[in-house]
Amino acid sequence: MTRTQELLASDPIWLTLLKVLGLFVIGVVLTLFMINWERKVVGRMQHRPGPNRTGPGGWLQSLADGLKLAFKEDIMPAMADKKVYFIAPIISTIPAFVALSVIPFGGEVTIFGQQTVLQLVDVPVGVLVVLACSSIGVYGIVLGGWASGSPYSLLGSLRSAAQVISYEIALGLAVVGVVLYAGSLSTATIVGAQAQGWYVWLLFPSFVVFVIAMVGETNRAPFDLPEAESELVGGFHTEYSSLKFALFFLAEYVNMVTVSAMAVTLFLGGGMWPWPLSFLNEYGWMQFVAFILKTLLFLFMFIWLRGTLPRFRYDQFMKLGWKVLVPVMLVWIVAIFGIRAFQSTGGDNIVLLVSLIGFALAVVLAVAFLLPDKQVQAPPVEPASDYPVPPLDLEVPESPPKRRKAVRAGQEAE
């Protein structure tokens, strides 16, 4: 049993409940902050003022919007499946908060005289818990779109299911390299393994793919196909209002916080401060500050992407997931296996040869996937003249008798 697991096992029940409350507060407060921050940053990018009326500097606008939603009329479509329609937002929200339970927010601290770690639980498969929660959350979106009784909502939910299936694979493959180097699926162990160097430098391809896949997982721009306003009105939550809509909104932003915290845990050393501030790693609360700052960096990336990139077409979106991210990760994993096997055997030439052959096959497979699709083009049509004319096979209908009579009268008058 590790030091972290021993401290967490000795937590009294009041401290565990306090941590649960703290996780809920972190999720809600970061959501309120993120919404307002996003509106201000995007407004700055578009040379217009953001929220600036409610509260100091407009920073209480998100709280006012949340209270307003609570008093909005709750409308349920006549064709909706009432039970599923009611439970879908709950299914979407709960896994987002549960995933935060395995995230190590900091080191050892003392809370009311009790020594503990800034983490709720440290399970041996913490990484899989986060991936499972992100997969379960999409059930709420799918059920919400299906139960609404609207074709637009149904199409949005189907797109969301396809999106999660596509990018969950790339997300999982990006984590494999971290697990191989850390030798564990425990989030606390992965953070401890980065004491000598963050994995963002050692496993940079995994980091890039993880960041792209986590944007796709959270249905954020430029991958917000399930709620494409120009095609599907509002997407899967078109028929939702009041607190049910607020729960979907909360789930989206808490998921952004969760995947950002997971990226910090896997690749940026958790709450560890970089050199020359590494002396702050001795203080657990200072590690918590570092963790929040790193998480805010990823949250700003979400805002930056939304204010910069246009929405993908659906074929572009699927091609990126299946023909780029997945093959690249397969090649990278084979390379990591070869390097680790070569290191563990002390440089056995046979192992190195087998690894190189596997890597070459993976490269060939990736190139085959990355080749552009063959486009079938129609033969060019020679224009009849430089001036565009309508097709010659069109027949102009004869004018009615009154029209012909009026035309003749006009010609005679001239």
Q: In this structure, what token pair is assigned to residue 391?
A: 């097709």
> Residue 406: phi, psi to the nearest 5?
-65, -40
Residue 175 is predicted with a pLDDT of 93
Q: Closest Cα partner for 22 from 120, 129, 123?
A: 120
Tell me how far CA of residue 338 lies from CA of 147, 279, 361, in angstroms.
Answer: 48, 36, 13
Say if CB 216 and CB 166 are below 8 A apart: yes
d(CA 40, CA 59): 9
Q: In this structure, what token pair is assigned to residue 374?
A: 């063959």
Residue 393 is predicted with a pLDDT of 60
Q: Which residues pair with 116 in a beta bridge?
A: 109
d(CA 313, CA 409): 57
Q: Report the residue count for the chain.
A: 414
Residue 410 is predicted with a pLDDT of 76
Find where tokens 């010609």 sit.
Answer: 411
Residue 105 is predicted with a pLDDT of 92
Q: In this structure, what token pair is assigned to residue 397?
A: 């209908």
Say if CB 261 and CB 103 are below 8 A apart: yes
**For each of the chain's 414 residues, which pLDDT tens digit applies?**
678 888 888 889 999 999 999 999 999 999 999 999 999 999 999 899 889 999 898 999 999 998 998 888 888 888 888 899 999 999 999 999 999 999 999 888 989 888 999 899 988 899 999 988 888 888 888 888 889 888 888 888 888 888 888 888 999 999 998 998 888 899 999 998 988 889 998 889 899 999 999 998 888 888 887 776 666 677 788 888 888 989 988 998 999 999 999 999 999 988 898 888 888 888 889 999 999 999 999 999 999 998 888 888 888 888 888 888 888 888 888 888 877 777 777 655 555 555 566 666 666 666 655 666 665 555 555 555 565 665 666 566 666 777 677 778 877 776
Say if CB 8 and CB 116 are below 8 A apart: yes
